[in-house]
Amino acid sequence: MPVAQGTRPRPAETALSDDEVRALRADFPILADERLVYLDSGATSQKPRAVLDAERAYLEHENAAVHRGAHTLAAEATERFEDARATVAEFIGADEDEVSWTLNATAALNTVAGAIGHASAGRGGAEADRFRLRAGDEIVVTELEHHANLIPWQELAARTGATLRFVPIDDDGALRMEEAERVIGSATRIVAFSHVSNVLGGALPVAELVGLAQRVGALTVLDACQSVPHLPVDVRALGVDLAAFSGHKMLGPTGIGVLYGRRELLNALPPFLTGGSMITTVTMEAAEYLPAPQRFEAGTQPVAQAIGLAAAARYLDAVGMDRIAAHEAELGARLAEGLAAIDGVRLLGPAAGAPRVGLASFVVAGVHAHDVGQFLDDRGIAVRVGHHCAQPLHRRLGVTASTRASTALYTTRQEVDVLLEGVRDAVRFFGVAA
Amino acid sequence: MSGTSGGLGGLYQEVILDLARHPHAKGLEDGAAASSHQVNPTCGDEVTLQLHVADGRIDRVRWDGDGCAISQSSASILADLAPGLGLEDLQVRIDAFRTAMRSKGRIEPDEDLLGDAVVLGGVSRYTARVKCAMLAWVAAEAALRSL
């Protein structure tokens, strides 16, 4: 799969040197444990001191309710909270009013699907007409989606009478683009897809999918969870209408995610969650709503987490996303080549040598992923095992579970080699040849 | 065994690895008195287990499924243990096995009661794997309840 436009590391960008990675690792307290070989950053990343300190400093010196109250502390807290939004918006090439905080990426995707559901039930006035789904309309996803970018659309289709369709993948996990051209048609209203597969590690052809969607006037929704932490991402350059990602996978705290949307879309979508802080006027009968981003931020927000996430974005930016992408592309290639060379191991996704981020899932013939993971864990190697919230993808590839190793900017080449040795030994231990 | 690393030998005893490669009583047969299908949603392991009953006793257990060495060997061990037991006796053994599995290593399985299932005793120290070991036994329990 080609790496999508605007995300490929420029040739001039060099990967991080071993010394540079060692220096970065010193910023991550948990990595001081030399026994730990953490290869599960695709599930959640570790956190640098800068993020932990930012949260603590806010809570120790500036904590107050934001966007309410008139005292000095509240004003300062509000300013910090909005500064955090501006930082994260800039990190992805958006304006600050195009970034709404959510609990996580799952919540962001559910916010979009839920808001479209509300629009389809008649909420949102004339402005929301464009979002209304009815029987005969189609929502298109891909066969490789994480459950978070599949189930909300299943539910939306069930509620509105729309039909959910999907773009199939081939045996290597690549999207069948000739099928995409067939599936995305005049009835398509929404096209939702991942930027980078959380199982396969390859990037989807975003520009082509956006082109197909725009040709028929469909909304595009991007699950950017596995790209924003690892690649330079510019949402405007990608041309998507809406995007979701989580904080905890990009060195930030848990409990915070981002919903990006083009300004005019966010302001036309009806709110999903309603309540305090997202209104202008409320009577006993009805309410009027603030524009985005507050429109989608009902109730008390995760303020310390937002500030922590901004610190994470600054940390990544200081290292340089181009360089991080180059480093992780190298690690991904090392992983893929190493795994593919082991007898009895099937590498899922792009073949060794094809572009991928620092993430590779694999299956050891005759050995369940849980057993592989247990064997590796005994050596301090942390990997993900199971279906990685992508059951239909695994079913399509003919397996129930896989083992996934995933990197971040702090991952070393040596860690990849330790994993490869561990997998070779696991193959022997479980007696695959038998 | 060569390649055994650290405490893993306590979890993956040779019997377990051997049963995972060469399962007992695998494959469903017609005429079961009861059956149950169980899934471990975290990893997608699944087992379908049948109780074949004659004269009020377990005649044989048959099962089919996919999963890790722990879940697969556990199903084989249960299938070896169950024949000849009364229905209530089987329930007593399921309860005893569950108690041992949930003990975080404090309770060794009772060999008189559980036979070869003692080789799964090490699983109870790995809380993430207890569900794997229990899968077939939970299926047997559900099948018993439907009788």
- A386/B44 touch (CB, cutoff 8 Å), yes or no: yes
Count the neighbouring beta carbons within 10 Å of the beta carbon of residue A178.
9
Pairs of residues, one from chain A and one from chain B, whose beta carbons lie less than 8 Å apart: 69
B65 CB neighbours in chain A (<8 A) are: none
CA distances, A425 to each of A212, A331, A343 (Å): 46, 21, 11
A421 and B CB contact within 8 Å: no
pLDDT of residue A1: 39
**Higher pLDDT among residues B3 and A9, named by residue:** A9
pLDDT of B54 reads 97
Please tell me the distance from the alpha carbon of residue A129 to that of residue A381, in angstroms, as a whole number: 51
pLDDT at B41: 81
Segment-wise mean pLDDT, segments of 10 residues, chain A, 434 residues: 46 83 98 96 98 98 92 95 98 98 98 98 96 98 98 98 98 96 98 98 98 98 98 98 98 98 98 96 97 97 98 98 98 98 97 96 95 96 95 94 97 98 95 58
Q: Which of A35, A40, A368 to mutate to test the interface with B (most CBs of B within 10 A)?
A: A368
The predicted structure's pLDDT at residue A68? 86
**Do the Cβ atoms of B17 and A401 come within 8 Å?**
no
Say if residue B40's pLDDT is above 90.
no
Q: Report the pLDDT value the prediction gives residue B1, as an integer from 0 to 100.
A: 36
Q: Write a three-state SS string for chain B.
A: CCCCCCCHHHHCCHHHHHHHHCCCCECCCCCCCEEEEEEECCCCEEEEEEEEEECCEEEEEEEEEECCHHHHHHHHHHHHHCCCCEHHHHHHHHHHHHHHHCCCCCCCCCHHHHHHHHHHHHHHHCHHHHHHHHHHHHHHHHHHHCC
Domain B8-145 class, CATH top level: alpha beta
pLDDT, one tens digit per residue, over B73-109 is 999 999 999 999 999 999 999 999 999 999 998 998 9
- What is the pTM for the complete model shown? 0.93
pLDDT recorded at residue A92 = 98
Rounded (10°) CA dihedral A365, A368, A369, A371: -120
Q: Is the ipTM beyond the 0.90 threshold? A: no
Q: Identify the pLDDT of residue A12.
A: 54
Q: What is the pLDDT of residue A69?
A: 81
Closest chain A C-alpha to B44 CA, distance in angstroms: 6
B6 has pLDDT over 80: no
* Domain definitions of chain B by residue range: 8-145
